[in-house]
């Protein structure tokens, strides 16, 4: 344990944050988590082992100036995970960018005012690295997403602006704390809460007949328990610095569907038609215009391209080892069945 002071975790109710909190409590830390509703609304957090003695939930909203001042006061480490994670929103500026960017600035201001914070661990995303794969390029932490805007991949835009704001703040203000950033790819895995995370929902949709066929599309995946582990390592490793691209394995949609079939889920409405050839890609690009705006955009900028990235920095500097995605995927599906997001069988 590197601190006896409470570790502040913003967005405690979130899919990733709940796992971070569980790990922190398991390792003996005290936690001050921020939530938007009354603390009693989060029995899945209050029921964690050690929560009764060492978890405090405090209400705060990213859009309220100064909301985190009192909360962060006295903390040495802050994990800033809170940020809206949604793909199709009505108003990208107010629904995504404002809470992501203003919220980050608000939290960092509070860290600075506190005088006690030593390090902030910021949950960014692959979205801040790029919003489209490039088959000819291997992405690393040196890359920045320069393509997104309010019209093009607004979620990616919000994450890019928020991470930039965090780095700018640290450079500009020269305060006493440092910043370490985790950039996860698609995070899947069991959920501690009944809600269905946006990425797990994509797996649910693939199993529920939402996708017309198998597309030529691929993603990096990482298990939520490994993402939580990465946050703790970023806090506890004195030499941790900069950004950490956090992804275990890349899976093509074809491989994903095959894995689901071979893992005992073949009776679900998995896509059957193979549209991963050139003709299928053209067809899917046309059909993408029938999808919600941002889903359509995602298909058009990702289909027919191979996502390549290098995760060596996190492996070597934080010493993390990732669980196999096959296991993670199986547990994700079983967990969605347990929570009732998927039927027992079809």
Q: Which residues are catalytic?
A: 159
Compute CA distances 208 → 98, 213, 303, 330, whole Å: 33, 12, 21, 16
243 near ligand NAP, rule: CB under 6 A: no
Part in contact with ligand NAP (CB under 6 A); list of ranges 105-113, 182-190, 293-301, 335-343 = 182-190
Provide the minimum distance between the beta carbon of 334 and ligand NAP in the complex, in angstroms, as a whole number: 18
Query: Which residues 187-206 are close enough to bind ligand NAP by CB under 6 A?
Result: 187, 197, 199
69 near ligand NAP, rule: CB under 6 A: no
166 near ligand NAP, rule: CB under 6 A: no
Provide the minimum distance between the beta carbon of 289 and ligand NAP in the complex, in angstroms, as a whole number: 25
Compute CA distances 328 → 260, 263, 323, whole Å: 11, 11, 7
Coil/strand/helix, residue 121: strand
Binding mask 100-119 for ligand NAP (x = CB under 6 A): --------------------
Q: 198-206, long-range: CB within 8 Å, 24+ apart, which pairs?
A: 198/85, 198/86, 198/87, 200/15, 200/332, 200/336, 200/341, 201/341, 203/329, 203/332, 203/333, 203/336, 204/336, 204/341, 204/342, 206/253, 206/256, 206/257, 206/260, 206/270, 206/271
Q: Are 75 and 116 in contact (CB under 8 A)?
A: yes
**Nearest to residue 24, comparing CAs of 47, 55, 53, 46?**
55
85 near ligand NAP, rule: CB under 6 A: yes
Q: Which member of 22, 159, 204, 225 binds ligand NAP (CB under 6 A)?
A: 159
92 near ligand NAP, rule: CB under 6 A: no
Give the integer Cα–Cα distance in Å for 104 and 99: 8
Give the integer Cα–Cα distance in Å for 233 and 335: 26
Provide the minimum distance between the beta carbon of 41 and ligand NAP in the complex, in angstroms, as a whole number: 9
137 near ligand NAP, rule: CB under 6 A: no
**Nearest to residue 243, comparing CAs of 180, 192, 294, 299?**
180
Q: Which is nearer to ligand NAP, 83 or 302 (CB)?
A: 83
Give the integer Cα–Cα distance in Å for 175 and 168: 12
Part in contact with ligand NAP (CB under 6 A); list of ranges 80-88, 171-179, 321-329, 336-344 = 80-88
Q: Which member of 6, 33, 92, 99 binds ligand NAP (CB under 6 A)?
A: 99
**Nearest to residue 89, comparing CAs of 158, 164, 13?**
158
Q: Which residue is nearest to ligand NAP (CB)?
A: 14
Residue 24 burial class via C-beta count within 10 angstroms: exposed 0-12, middle 13-18, buried 19 and up: buried
Provide the minimum distance between the beta carbon of 184 and ligand NAP in the complex, in angstroms, as a whole number: 4
Part in contact with ligand NAP (CB under 6 A); list of ranges 49-57, 71-79, 82-90, 316-324 = 82-90
Q: Which member of 7, 9, 11, 25 binds ligand NAP (CB under 6 A)?
A: 11
Provide the minimum distance between the beta carbon of 230 and ligand NAP in the complex, in angstroms, as a whole number: 11
Q: Which is nearer to ligand NAP, 196 or 287 (CB)?
A: 196
Give the integer Cα–Cα distance in Å for 326 and 96: 32
19 near ligand NAP, rule: CB under 6 A: no
6 near ligand NAP, rule: CB under 6 A: no
Residue ranges that bind ligand NAP, judged by CB under 6 A: 11, 13-17, 36, 61-63, 81-85, 99, 123, 125, 159, 184, 186-187, 197, 199
């Amino acid at each position: 344990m590197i601190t006896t002071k409470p570790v502040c975790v913003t967005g405690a109710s979130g899919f990733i944050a709940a796992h971070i909190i569980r790990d922190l409590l398991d390792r003996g830390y005290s936690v001050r988590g921020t939530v938007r509703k009354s603390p009693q609304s989060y029995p899945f957090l209050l029921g964690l082992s050690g929560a009764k003695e060492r978890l405090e939930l405090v209400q705060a909203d990213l859009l309220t100036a100064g909301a985190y001042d009192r909360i962060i006061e006295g903390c040495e480490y802050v994990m800033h995970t809170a940020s809206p994670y949604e793909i199709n929103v009505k108003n990208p500026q107010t629904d995504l960018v404002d809470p992501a960017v203003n919220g980050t600035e608000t939290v960092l201001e509070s860290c600075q005012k506190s005088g006690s914070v030593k390090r902030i661990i910021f949950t960014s995303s692959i979205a801040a690295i790029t919003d489209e794969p490039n088959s000819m390029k291997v992405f690393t932490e040196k890359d920045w997403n320069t393509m997104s805007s309010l019209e093009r991949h607004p979620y990616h835009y919000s994450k890019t602006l928020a991470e930039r704001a965090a780095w700018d703040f640290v450079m500009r203000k020269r305060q006493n704390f440092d910043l370490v950033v985790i950039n996860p790819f698609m995070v899947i895995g069991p959920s501690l809460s009944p809600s269905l995370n946006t990425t797990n929902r994509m797996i649910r949709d693939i199993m529920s007949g939402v996708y017309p066929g198998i597309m030529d599309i691929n993603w990096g995946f990482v298990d939520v328990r490994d993402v939580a582990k990465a946050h703790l390592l970023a806090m506890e490793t004195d030499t941790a610095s900069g950004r950490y691209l956090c992804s275990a394995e890349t899976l093509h949609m074809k491989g994903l569907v095959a894995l689901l079939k071979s893992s005992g889920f073949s009776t679900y409405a998995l896509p059957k038609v193979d549209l991963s050839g050139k003709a299928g890609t053209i067809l899917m690009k046309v059909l993408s215009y029938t999808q919600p705006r941002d889903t359509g955009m995602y298909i058009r900028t990702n289909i027919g391209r191979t996502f390549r990235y290098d995760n060596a920095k996190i492996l070597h500097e934080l010493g993390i080892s990732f669980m196999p995605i096959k296991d993670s995927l199986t547990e994700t599906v079983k967990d969605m069945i347990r929570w009732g997001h998927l039927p027992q069988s079809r």
